[in-house]
Every structure is written in structure tokens, then in C-alpha cells.
Amino acid sequence: MTAPASGPVIVGVDGGTSSADALALGGWAATTLGVPLVVAAVHAAPSAIGSGRVDAEWISDRRVAAERALDEARAQHTAPAEYRVIASSSAAHGLHDLAEQLGAALIVVGSAATAANARTFAGSTAERLLAGSVCPVAVAPAGMPTPPGTLGRIGVAYVDTPDGRAALETAARLAIRTATPLRLVTVVARGDAARPFLLGTDAERAFLDTARESYEEALRRAAASVPDVTAEWEVRSGDVVESLAELDDVDVLFCGSRGYGPARRVLLGGVSARLLRRARRPVVVVPRAA
């Protein structure tokens, strides 16, 4: 198992309605992991090709807005935290650079303003962060109805790949800190999604039974690989994204990014990207291990 990160949890705020959700999730994560909390608001940096006075006035206005967002965050979150205003070409770029600089354990952002209540919906900042982040990235659902830490279970969307194992290792560290069980979930796609071309009904059933047995064995091995944690596991049938998105009895759901791309970088695949647009609980996307 990889060594736990000792850097801070970084929460990105913008003064929008989702900032409170991100603060709640980030504050819980920092307290649970025993690391500092850094709350950051990013404003536009001066453009190299900007037009002098207009550019300076606009930059000044954006900085004031960022400082206002931090003031609102201070009022919402009374626990100790460091607050930073950052100038960068984009919110995602600023948070990404700060995470690299501080060796962050986690970056947390809220859902887009268009998210349905109690659902995640990764906005443009989250999507850009997830395209190459060096640390896990968490997205809080809009209006998070159940505060993190109250359900007593850490979820893992598990597949037996480097991505899945990285997600499990990261989730296990949090489970140890919270003294709560892990819940590993693998979803076997519906027959019409999993059936090879021109395969008959009987052969399809045998194919799915074999797939289920393979997944069950992988889950047993995965559960046994985290001896300091109680690990439950379950194989579900149905649409992969929908089944995972409807999980509502876990404090947070960990998933991998995808099985290729640069090591130790988040790089979204099809399932993780779609899951971030509809999950009921906070989702943490973990970089693939080296």
C-alpha cells in the first residue's frame, strides 16, 4: 500500500452555492486525515496581451470577487484553515499548481450551478482539474443532504485493474482513520451491453455467469488485501454508471480514473466521467498508481 499523503486538503471556492458543499466535504476530509485545510479562491492573472488599463481594472475586480468568496468561506467554516487568493490563467490551473506546490492529499470542489439537488455534476473547473491532477479530486453533490461522516461506510467502485487497486488503497486509508467499513461494488453490465456479437441467449447467460464468478473472486482478493479494515463486497447487475450513481449509503465513493495514461495523474475515462455527472454521494477520483 502506498504511503499516505501528508499534504493538505485544498478546497476551491468561488462564492457560488456549491462552495458550502465543497467546504463541508473538504473540512471533514482534512479533519479525518489529520492534515491542514487550505481554502483557495482563484482570480484571473494579468494577460500578456491584455490592453493595459481595461485589463488592470478587470483583474482588480476579479481579485475583489475572490477575496469576497474567501470572506464567505470564513463565515461558513469556523474550524482552523489557511485562506489563499491565487492569480492564474484559470481556476483549474491555479488549484492544480497549488496542489503540486503543497503536495496536496486531495482537491475538493463543488458541483456546477446547474446540478440537480443531491447530485454531483462536475463543472468546467472540476473537469479540467481531473485532466491530469497529481492527487485525488473530490466533487461534492449539490446541496449535500447528508453530511459526510454520518453514514459510516466508505464506498469503492472496484475493478481488478491498476486504477481499481489505487482507488481501494486510498479508500482504505480513509476507512482506517474513520474506523468504518469499506463497501466494494462491482457492476456486471446488462446482457445487451456485455453480450458478444451473435451470441445466443444460453451462451450469453453462461458468459455473464462466468463474468460474475470472476468479479466475485477479484472482490474476495481485494477485500483480503486490506487486513486492517472490515471490507464488504457486492456484485450488482445493470447499467454500470446508473448502479454506482444510485449508491446513497456511503459517505464517499472512490473510483479510479482509467487504466492508461500517465502514472500518478488523474485522466478521466468513460465511467468516471459519467459518474461525476449524476452521483448521489461525493465522488473521489484517484490517480493511477505508478
Hey, what CATH topology would domain 150-290 get?
A: Rossmann fold (3.40.50)
- CA distances from residue 125 to 110, 120, 203 in whole angstroms, order as listed: 9, 13, 45
Q: What is the CATH number of domain 6-148?
A: 3.40.50.620
Q: Tens digit of pLDDT per residue, the chain (290 long)?
A: 334 557 999 999 998 889 999 999 999 999 999 999 999 999 887 665 555 454 677 788 888 999 999 999 999 998 899 999 999 888 889 999 999 999 999 999 998 877 667 667 667 787 787 777 789 999 999 888 888 889 999 999 998 888 889 899 999 999 999 999 999 999 887 654 444 544 556 655 666 667 778 889 999 999 999 988 999 999 988 888 888 899 999 999 999 876 443 333 344 456 777 888 888 999 999 886 54
As annotated, the residues of the chain forming the CATH 3.40.50.620 domain(s) are 6-148, 150-290
* CA gap 43, 14 in Å, rounded: 9
Cα distance from N-terminal residue to C-terminal residue, the chain: 12
* CA gap 46, 36 in Å, rounded: 30
Is there a contact between 119 and 97 (Cβ–Cβ < 8 Å)?
no
Dihedral over Cα of 145, 146, 148, 153: its sign:
negative
Is there a contact between 185 and 237 (Cβ–Cβ < 8 Å)?
no
Cell 481556476 sits on residue: 91
Cβ neighbours of residue 49 closer than 8 Å, sequence gap 6 or more? none
Question: Degrees (nearest 5) of the Cα angle 264, 247, 142?
Answer: 80
Q: Smallest Cα–Cα separation from 123: which of 135, 137, 136?
A: 137
